[in-house]
Amino acid sequence: MAELRMREALRDAMAEEMRRDESVFVMGEDVGVFRGAFKVTDGLLDEFGERRVRDTPISENTIVGAGVGAAMNGLRPIVELMTVNFSLLALDQIINHAAAIPYMFNGQAKVPMVIRMPGGGGHQLGPTHSHSFEALYLQVPGLLVACPSTPGDAKGLLKSAIRDDNPVVFIEHESLYGVKGEVDDGEELVPFGEARVRREGSDVTIVGILKMANVAMEAAETLAREHGVEAEVIDPRTLRPLDLDTILASVAKTNHAVIVEEGWPHGGVGANLSALITEQAFDDLDAPPQRVTGADVHMPYSKRLEQAAIPHQEHIVSAALATLEGAMA
């Protein structure tokens, strides 16, 4: 085991897969000479050269479209988009082509590509660089969606994504790039569709998405220390496929559920999970599931307003106590 920052873990995953398979290459804006907007591709150009680390024009639709074509012709592109908001410019290629082509060609054509995109608030980058669009891509059949919260999971999931024959939307939280954690030195892969129980508990299940899995861990410690409440924290790690069985098993044990995400409240990941839990674990619930989400606003630039728009551990603590109080009402 080594302790790495998340950006280093992601870089190592790409470098290892590029050494393993010559069909793997990286493309995107400033991924080569500039080493990536968040320095995730640092060192790749020096090792692999311009043929396999390709700086592109500023045109997301073109970048992803070129990736789709390359994937259909036997390569395994890793496409980096500078921010999740810019992926909106490539929705036609992501949804109508990358996701749909294997279906339209009855599996005869595959699109084995990874589209990496950072998102999330907290860096005063304003509304066009800071949103959380996990729910947007979660809706699309044919896409896999990964949302790692730790360096170890980030490396293992990215290696799995690169080897998968399906298109993968790989969402990285901007605030986590500098976070350190233990990372496996070898070839350990993290399979898609297997959630991780980050903390065992018996009183309430807290499901945290991306950075919110880490904030949920902080909230769980506060709940235990100040309120005597033992929370079980689950990190889904991938939203499509979703390991619903692990979540339902936890709810069957705790009889309470809180879902935490940074995205908007309407039609979000939390809304989807809340519906699934209510539909499939209704008899296990002692109170309705609680959702903690980002504010229903565009992400502010002002630091104070931005922080007010993002969930924090005190919001998770309040939601957990509310669902427990609801059971006693």
Give the active site residues.
60, 129
How far apart are alpha carbons 234 and 199 in whole angstroms? 7
State both tokens at 137. 């891509």
Question: How far apart, in whole angstroms, are the C-alpha atoms of residue 263 and residue 237?
Answer: 16
How far is residue 316's CA from residue 226's CA, in Å, rounded to a whole number?
A: 14
Q: Give CA–CA dist 137/269, Å, rounded.
A: 10
Q: Is 260 helix (H, G, I), strand (E, B) or coil?
A: strand
The SS3 assignment for 98 reads helix
**What does the alpha-carbon distance between residue 295 and residue 320 come to, in Å, rounded to a whole number?**
18
Helix (H) or strand (E) holding 205: strand 204-208
Cα distance between residue 212 and residue 176, in whole Å:
11
What letter would DSSP give residue 29? T
Cα separation, 4 vs 8, in Å, equals: 6
Q: Is the dihedral of CA 5, 8, 12, 13 positive or negative?
A: positive
Give the count of beta carbons closer than 10 Å to the beta carbon of residue 235: 27
Q: What are phi and psi of 27, to 5 degrees?
A: -145, 150
d(CA 64, CA 26): 12
C-beta separation of 20 from 7 below 8 A: no
Amino acid letter, residue 161: A
Dihedral in degrees, nearest 10, Cα atoms 214, 215, 217, 218? 130
